[in-house]
Structure 1
Amino acid sequence: MVVEDVLKKLGLHYSAVELGVVEGVPDITDTQRAKLKEDLHNSGLELQEDRKEILIEKIKNVIIKMIHSLEELPAVNYSYYISDAIGLDYTYLANTFSSVKGITIQQYIIKHKIEKVKELLLYGDMNLTEISYKLNYSSVAHLSSQFKKVTGHTPSDYKHQMSEKRIALEDI
């Protein structure tokens, strides 16, 4: 709502605001742009004007939505899903993402999938088999291997360590 409030305050019309991307804002004056930038900054946000950075944010938003918001991950290959959601060729998206972020889209997806696994391990009532199925892993072994590679811990060690920390904090 913050972005919408700032746009309305400045009298700027837009067609949509979704996950940090504003669409349909007509050309604005340098004064309006400076004021928009200042008001967003005061709200803890940043105005992205570089086309590559904007594209990167779109890619990241699609991935975050795909992994953290959807009830079920898409059955299609992630590259098709991302390309379709953004409307651009996946090779172009992947090359742009890698050149700007220094990691591949696949590595970014893996990091977010592991974050989702952590969340489900700690706060869900799913076992590792259910989690691996929900997140489209080919097997529990594949999930466990990827989890250990990213976190340095097995899923069960991670769950045990985090459970001990939560109990310790609750005792305070």
Structure 2
Amino acid sequence: MILTVRNMVCDRCKRVVQDELERMGVVVKRVDLGEVELVTPPSAHLLDAIRHRLQQNGFDLIDNKKQSLVEHIKVLLINEIQYLKAERLPTENYSTFLERKVGYEYSYLSGLFSTSEGQTLEKYIIALKIEKVKEWLQYAELTLSEIAWRLSYSSVQHLSNQFRQVTGQTPGQFRKDAHANRRSLDAI
């Protein structure tokens, strides 16, 4: 049985979910971002206990197919932007990528995402990209040109303009700020 879990955004999240379920005696076959595969289906009572334990750790079970689809979209985008999984073809934009991976038209996905998350898919993608830019700026290992190229920006200027719109700072100002604020991915 596969459980869909909201707010799993990193490897640490996967470990926490797996550890918590194993503490409860649940046999886990596989844990991926947004999904847990169990060896046997849990009883209704155990499922309620799993939900409660996950909620205590900032996660939640998703029972609704539409909400599961939204979570799947988020996982695809996090993998693509934060973890650079490179499932997106080099010439493919995000809308075409999501259509190909999920099997629905982008207009449907966009409307569903906006209704569920209270923000557009485009804003979500931009927020993920800006958080990745912040991460790389804090590490100070890449130039702005390298960052723009890795995140498929058309130019350094485009990246800089978008960064300033979202953060209120230029990338250079952000890099100089030793206490620069970054958001956790589940807060985006």
TM class, shorter-length: 0.7 to 0.9
2-structure distance, mates of 1:21, 1:71: 17
Alignment counterpart, residue 50 of structure 1, candidates 64, 67, 75: 64
128 and 86 in structure 1: CA distance in 2 versus 1, 3 angstrom threshold: same
| 1:93-108 equivalent positions in 2, closer than 5 A | 93-108=109-124
Instruction: Tell me how large the CA RMSD over aligned residues is.
Output: 2.6
Q: Which residue of 2 is the match for residue 129 of structure 1?
A: 145
Q: Which residue of 2 is the match for residue 120 of structure 1?
A: 136
73 and 67 in structure 1: CA distance in 2 versus 1, 3 angstrom threshold: farther
Q: Point out which structure has higher relative CO (alpha carbons under 8 A, 6+ apart).
A: 2
Deviation at 1:139, TM superposition (A): 0.9
Alignment counterpart, residue 146 of structure 1, candidates 148, 158, 162: 162
Provide, for residues 10-54 of structure 1, a one-character-per-residue CA deviation record: whole Å limited to 9, x for no partner.
676676431122357776532222222223234443222233322
| 1:23-102 equivalent positions in 2, closer than 5 A | 23=37, 28-70=42-84, 74=88, 75=90, 76-102=92-118
2-structure distance, mates of 1:61, 1:131: 22
Q: Which has the larger radius of gyration?
A: 1
73 and 39 in structure 1: CA distance in 2 versus 1, 3 angstrom threshold: closer
Residues 97 and 104 of structure 1 are in contact (CA less than 8 Å); yes or no, is this contact kept in structure 2? yes
Higher-strand-fraction structure: 2
Structure 1: which 5+ runs fail to align?
Answer: 167-172
TM-score using structure 1 length: 0.79
1-structure distance, mates of 2:85, 2:58: 30
Residues 72 and 134 of structure 1 are in contact (CA less than 8 Å); yes or no, is this contact kept in structure 2? no
Structure 2: which 5+ runs fail to align?
Answer: 1-14, 181-188
Higher-helix-fraction structure: 1
TM-score using structure 2 length: 0.73
Matched residue pairs, number? 164
User: AA paired with 2:163?
Assistant: F
User: AA paired with 1:126?
Assistant: L
Residues 83 and 90 of structure 1 are in contact (CA less than 8 Å); yes or no, is this contact kept in structure 2? yes
